[in-house]
A and B are shown apart, each in its own frame.
Chain A
Amino acid sequence: MNRFIVLWFAVGLIGFAIIPWYTTDDSFWSFVWLTDGYPFDADYAPALLQIFVHGKIWLAPLILFFLAVVPVLRRDASGQQQARYLAIAGIGGLAYLFLQGFTIGIGGWEYAALESLFGPVERQFGLGYGAVLVAGAFLFLLTQSFAARGYVGGDLFVAGSIGLIITLIVAFVFFPVSRILMSAFQDNDGAFTLLLFAEKISDNKIWGLRCISENVSCGVAWNSLMLATTVGFGSTLLGLAFALVTTRARLRFGKAFRVLTVLPIITPPFVIGLAMILLFGRAGVVSQFMDWAFDIEPSRWIYGFTGIWLAQMLAFTPIAFLVLIGVVEGVSPSMEEAAQTLRADSWTTFTTVSFPLMRPGLANAFLLGFIESMADFGNPFVLGGNYGVLSTDIFFAIVGAQNDQGRAAVLAIVLLVFTLTAFYVQRRWVGKKSYVTVTGKGDSGLHAALPKRLTWAIFAIVIPWTAMMLVIYCMVMFGGFVETWGRDHSFTWRHYAEAFSITSGEFGLVWTGSAWNSFWTTITISAIAAPLTAAVGLLTAYLLVRQKFAGRLLFEFGTMLSFAIPGTVIGVSYILAFNIPPIEITGTGIILIICFMFRNMPVGLRAGVAAMSQLDKNLDEASLTLGANSFTTVRKVILPLLRPAIAAALVFSFVRAITSVSAVIFLVSADYHMATAYIIGRVENGDYGLAIAYSSVLILVMLAAVSLVQLLVSERKLGRRSATTKPAGDDPPGQKKIGAVA
C-alpha cells in the first residue's frame, strides 16, 4: 500500500466533504465560519453539501475522480495500475475543477451559449480552502502517477516538486500574463485583430532610428536595448570587481565593505535618483561647485542616458555582486594552483582559469542586470529626461492620458522578446561546458592572489565608486533631517515625527505616525514572502540543474517570464486575472506575497543555478545511494553547500519585496498598504523630506536584516582554506590537486 496515495486521497476528501469550498468574505486566519452557520450555510458549506443542499450539482462529477483513486488504495496495487488510475484522477480532477471554475463565475454562466444550452445556473465565488485542498490532492496524485511510471527516476519528491512548481507558474505567471498580452491583439471592443497589432508593433515611436542622423529621440526599443546592454555589462564588471576585492584582495575591512556594496539594493526606489539630481542636477551641489570653482556652466546632462545608466549601475551592481561572490569563492583553488604549477603567472592564471570558471556566474549576472535594467521603472522615471524606455512607456500607456492597455501589451511583448533573446544568448555563451569546481574530493588549496595589475585596476574603479556611493547615502540620510531638501537646510525632526511618532495614550503606546501602518504591513509581507521566494527559487534551480525531464526549457522560460515583464504589466495582469473567480485574491495580502514570490524568485533561481552548477553531481548521487531520499539530499548535502546562494536569495527577495514599486501600486489595498506606495505618494506630492525619512528607516531595517542573514547563512565551510596546516598524506604532493572538470 502506498501511504502517500492514501494521505493525499484523505486530504482531498477532507477538502471536499468537510472544509468550506468557496472563499469566505472573512480574512484568511478568521475562523468565523466555524461558528457562523457552518456546515449548512451556503457561503461556508463544503462541496459535498453544496451539491446536495445548495444545488451546485456541477460539482458532483468531482466525486467520480475521487472514485478513480479507490482501486489503487489496495495494498497490492502495481506500479502500472497506480500510474493509470492516478493519471485519470489527477488530470481529470484538476481539469474539471478549473473548467467549472472558469465557466461558472460570479454571474452564473460565463458564456452565453452555455446558458442557452443548460439554462441558468447559480453564481459561485472563488475557490476556497476546500477547493485548494482538493486541487492539491489531485495534483500530487497526478505526480505520484508520473513517479510510478519511473519518470524523473521514480522520485516522488522530484515529481511532486516539478508538478507543484509548474502548477504555480501556470497559475500565477502564464495565466495572468497571457491575459494582458492578449490585449495586444485586441481592438477597443475586444475583437481580435492582427492588423492593429502589426500597426502598433511597427510604430515609429518604438523602432525609430532617426536619432542616428538627427537630434531626436530614437525608438524606445533601441533606447531600452542600449541601456540594458550597457548596464548589464557594466554592472557585471563592477560586480566582479567588488566580488574580487572582497574575496581575494585580503582586505582587513572586507566584511564592512561587503555590506556597503549591497547597500543600493536595500534602497527604496526614487531615492538614488533624487539624490543624484540633488548632486549632479543643474542646481545640484556638485554642479554648483563646478560652476563656482571652474566656471563650468551647470547643465542638464544627468537627465537622459547618462543619468539612468549611472543610477542603474548603482542599483544593480549589488545584484551582480551577490551572484558573483558565490561563484568567485567557489572557483576551486586547486585549479588555480594547478595552473600556477603549469608555469602560468598570476595574470595568466586569472585569465585562463579563474575567469573562465566564473563564466556561468558572469552570464547569470549579466542576464540579471540586463533584465533588471529593462524592467526598471523608477530610475528612468526620475532621470529619464527625454530618453524614453520601454518600461516607462508601458507604465504611461496604462496610467497615462492615452490609457491604452493594448499599446502597453505590445511594448511588453517587445520587451519580452529582448529579454528572452538575452536569455538565449546567455545560454549559448555558457554552453554545455561543465563548471564543476566543488567536487567530492577534499580541496586543500588556497585561492591565488590577484595579479598586481588587476588589483590596481580594480581599486581604481572600486574606490571612486564607493566614495560616490558614500556621498549619495550621506545626502539621503541628511535629506530626512532638513526642512526642505535642496532648499531650506535647517535641522528638523519633523519628518521622522510625522512618519514614526509614538505617543503614550490612555491604553499604553499609540502608534500615531502616519507610516506605521504601511511599515508593519511591508515588513510582515516581505518577511513572509522572502523565505517562500528563496525556497521556490532554489527548488526550481535544483530541478533545472539536477533533474532531467521533458519540457525543462519551457519550464525555465516560465520562471523567467514574470521577472522579465515590467511590474506595471504584472500588476494590471494580476488584477485582470485574480479579481474574479476561480482565483479571487485581489485586495488581500496573499496577492502581494504571490506577486513577490514569482517576480523575485528568478533571483534565487539564478544564484542557485550558478552555485549548483559548481557542485559535483556525484555528491547528490552519493547521498542517494547511501539511502537518503532526494529531499534529504537537498537538505543535508546541497543546501549546506549553497549557503552563499541561499543568503543571496533570502536577502534579495526580502529587499525586493520591500522596495518594489510598479507592480505593487496596483495591488495595494486599504488593508494592505505598502511602504513604497506611501513613499511614491509623498514624492508625487513633492514631500521629499518625509519620503526620505521613511526610506532611511527602511534602509536601516533592511541593513539589519541583511547583516543578520549574512551572519547566519552566508559562509560555507569547505576545507580549511588557510595556509597553516599541511595536508597529512601518503601520496606525493600534487597528486590530489588535479581537479575534476568532468
Chain B
Amino acid sequence: MTIKSNASPVLFDTVTKAYGDVVAVDAISLSVAPGELVTLLGPSGCGKTTTLRLIAGLEMATSGHIFIGDTDVTKLPATARDVSMVFQSYALFPHMSVSENVGYGLKVSGIKKAETRDRSQDALDLVGLTDLGQRMPSELSGGQQQRVAVARALVLEPQVLLFDEPLSNLDAKLRRRVREEVREIQQNLGLTTVYVTHDQEEALAVSDRIVVMRNANIAQEGTPRELYERPADTFVADFIGDANIVDAQIIAVDGDDAQVSIGNLTMAMPHRNAGPGPVQLAIRPEAIHPIVIDADNTGNGDGGSLSGTVSKATYLGSHFEYTIETALGALFAIDPRIDAPVLEGQAIGIELASRGVTIIGDRS
C-alpha cells in the first residue's frame, strides 16, 4: 500500500462564522488528534457542515483561529490547505473518467504523469475499483461513485480528510458496508478524519470521538460510549440512540452512587455529581424489561416496582418493540425475548436493568 498518512491535528480556537446576523458556528473550540476520526453529529442546521467547510477553507471564519498541524490556516484559501473532502453529492467531475477524477488533485499539484497514474491506480485498488478507471462516473453505481470520491480524496495523502455525509445517498445495506470500508481505510492509514453525519448509528459505528452539535454550539463531545452512557443533557441523550426521558428524585447520595426514586421504584446508580433533589433520567429502551404479572410475581422486591400497560407491540424479527403506558408517561422498550411476547392491552410490571439507566447532566 503506497498511500501514506500525513496525519496532523486540527485545532479550533473559539471560531465563529456568521452570515450577516445569522450565526452558523458560535465560538467553537475543538481539537482533533492526529489519526483520530471525529464525527460531527447533529440535526440539520446545527452548524456541523459549516464547521467542516471551515476546516476545508470553503468558508472563512468570521473570528477565531483554525490550525492544521502547526499552521494557522484561518485566512488560507481551500487550495492552500492540505485537506481533502468527500462530498455528499460525491462531486465527481462528470466530464472526466474515473482515473482522471482520482488523478485530478495530483495533476494540478504538478505531479508527473507516470506517478499520477500509479498513485491513482493504488487509490483505486485500495477502494476496490481496480478495473474501472476508464469508466465515466455516470457509468458507475452509487456505491462505486462513492468509492471513487473516497479514492480521489485519499490519493493526495492529506493532513486531514473530511467527509460530508458521505453515505446519505446509499441504501441501508450498502451504507453499512461502505462505512466499514471507510473506517478500515482510515484506521489502516491512520488518517486524521472529520466526519459529518446526522445519523447517530453511523456516528457510533465509525468514530473515535463524537462531537454532538446543536444550534451552532457543541452540545457534548466524547467517545461513543461516553455519549451513550453518560449524556450531558436530554438533547444528547435523545439524539444518541433512543432514550426515554423521565423525571426522578435523588433521595440520597452515598459514595459513588445515588439512590434514585423513579415512580415507586428505587434504584442505585452513579450520581454524576448530582445532589439530592429532582433529576432527569435517560432510560435506554433495551434497559426496560416488561414482565408479565401473575400471582406469584409481584416485582423484583428491591424497592418497589413500576407497572403499566402495553399499548403497542411490534414484531421486528430479532426483537419486539413495545410502547408501554406508565405513570411516568409512555415508555419505549425493546425486548429480545421473542418467544414470550406481551400482548397489546396487557398489564405488566417493569424491571429496569442497572446498565442503561443514567442520570442526565454532565457534571462528572
A→B interface (CB under 8 Å): 79, 148-150, 153-155, 438-444, 616, 618-619, 621-630, 632, 636-637, 640-641, 716-720, 725, 727-732, 735-736, 738, 740, 742
A637 close to B139 (CB less than 8 A) = no
Inter-chain CA distance A632–B84, complex, in Å, is: 17
Q: Which residue of B lies closest to A639 (CB)?
A: B95
Question: Does chain A have a CB within 8 A of B94?
Answer: yes
Contact flags B118-141 to A (C-beta < 8 A → 1, else 0): 000000000000000000111111
A440 close to B171 (CB less than 8 A) = no
Q: Which residue of B lies closest to A716 (CB)?
A: B95
Inter-chain CA distance A441–B162, complex, in Å, is: 18
Question: Does chain A have a CB within 8 A of B356?
Answer: no
Inter-chain CA distance A155–B57, complex, in Å, is: 11
Q: Which residue of A lies closest to B62 (CB)?
A: A150
Q: How far is the CB of A443 from chain B (nearest CB, A)?
A: 5
Chain A residues with CB under 8 Å of B153's CB are: 625-626
Whether A616 touches B95, Cβ cut-off 8 Å, given contacts A625-B58, A628-B108, is no
Inter-chain CA distance A740–B162, complex, in Å, is: 20
B84 close to A625 (CB less than 8 A) = yes
B139 close to A636 (CB less than 8 A) = no
Q: How far is the CB of B171 from chain A (nearest CB, A)?
A: 6
Inter-chain CA distance A736–B169, complex, in Å, is: 7
Inter-chain CA distance A439–B149, complex, in Å, is: 13
Chain A residues with CB under 8 Å of B88's CB are: 618, 740
Inter-chain CA distance A136–B207, complex, in Å, is: 51
A619 close to B79 (CB less than 8 A) = no
Chain B residues with CB under 8 Å of A735's CB are: 142, 169-171
B93 close to A441 (CB less than 8 A) = no
Chain A residues with CB under 8 Å of B162's CB are: 625
**Knowing that A440-B93, A738-B169, A742-B89 are A-B contacts, what are 7 other residue pairs whose CB atoms are under 8 Å apart, sorted by A's residue number?**
A441-B169, A625-B162, A725-B139, A727-B140, A735-B142, A735-B169, A736-B145
Chain B residues with CB under 8 Å of A148's CB are: 75
Inter-chain CA distance A636–B105, complex, in Å, is: 11
B152 close to A626 (CB less than 8 A) = yes
Count residues on chain B whose CB falls below 8 Å from chain A CBs.
48
Inter-chain CA distance A742–B164, complex, in Å, is: 14
B105 close to A729 (CB less than 8 A) = no
The contact of A442 among B58, B79, B105, B140, by CB within 8 Å, is B140
B108 close to A626 (CB less than 8 A) = yes
Contact flags B79-104 to A (C-beta < 8 A → 1, else 0): 11111110111111111000000001
Inter-chain CA distance A742–B169, complex, in Å, is: 13
Contact flags B140-152 to A (C-beta < 8 A → 1, else 0): 1111110001001
A439 close to B171 (CB less than 8 A) = no
Q: What are the 3 closest A-B residue pairs judged by CB atoms, nearest first?
A: A729-B141, A719-B138, A440-B91
Inter-chain CA distance A619–B170, complex, in Å, is: 19
Q: How far is the CB of B147 from chain A (nearest CB, A)?
A: 10
Q: How far is the CB of A647 from chain B (nearest CB, A)?
A: 15
A439 close to B144 (CB less than 8 A) = no
Listed A/B pairs (18) with beta-carbon separation below 8 Å: A150-B74, A153-B60, A153-B77, A153-B78, A441-B92, A442-B145, A443-B138, A619-B91, A621-B87, A622-B87, A622-B92, A626-B84, A627-B108, A628-B108, A641-B94, A641-B95, A736-B141, A742-B89
Question: Does chain A have a CB within 8 A of B212?
Answer: no
B9-49 interface (Cβ within 8 A of A)? none
B171 close to A442 (CB less than 8 A) = no
Q: Which residue of A lies closest to B141 (CB)?
A: A729
Chain B residues with CB under 8 Å of A444's CB are: 138-139
Chain B residues with CB under 8 Å of A731's CB are: 141-143, 170-171, 174
B94 close to A636 (CB less than 8 A) = no
B89 close to A719 (CB less than 8 A) = no
Chain A residues with CB under 8 Å of B156's CB are: 626-627
Inter-chain CA distance A623–B162, complex, in Å, is: 14
Chain B residues with CB under 8 Å of A637's CB are: 93
Q: How far is the CB of A548 from chain B (nearest CB, A)?
A: 9
Chain A residues with CB under 8 Å of B359's CB are: none
Chain A residues with CB under 8 Å of B92's CB are: 440-442, 622
A443 close to B94 (CB less than 8 A) = yes
A621 close to B95 (CB less than 8 A) = no
